[in-house]
């Protein structure tokens, strides 16, 4: 997994993994964050869009978008610190 920060967003590359690994990696990342930030997930699992919509709904995060480019799925959501 490659994580990087681009333009005030964290990029979480889950390419090559399948459900539930992308969401599990996002949960691990969430446990390490200390401020609200946009997360961009790069995925190849065709179920990632639905999985992340559910994850954001259950976690109180704002699901922003999903783009499909060739064999990659780019999902963006807003991580929010839970009080």
Residues taking part in catalysis: 19
Query: Which tokens is 65 given?
Result: 């978008």
* Whether 38 contacts 8, CB under 8 Å: yes
- Per DSSP, what are the bridge partners of residue 79? 37
Distance, in Å, from the CA atom of 71 to the CA atom of 23, rounded to the nearest integer, reads 19
- Per DSSP, what are the bridge partners of residue 62? 78
């Amino acid at each position: 997994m490659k994580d990087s920060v681009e333009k005030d967003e964290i990029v979480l590359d889950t390419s090559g993994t399948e459900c539930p690994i992308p969401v599990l990696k996002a949960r691990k990342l969430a446990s390490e964050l200390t401020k609200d930030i946009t997360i961009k997930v790069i995925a190849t699992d065709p179920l990632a869009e639905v999985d992340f919509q559910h994850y954001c709904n259950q976690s109180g995060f704002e699901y922003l978008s999903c783009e499909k480019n060739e064999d990659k799925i780019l999902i963006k959501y807003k991580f929010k610190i839970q009080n």
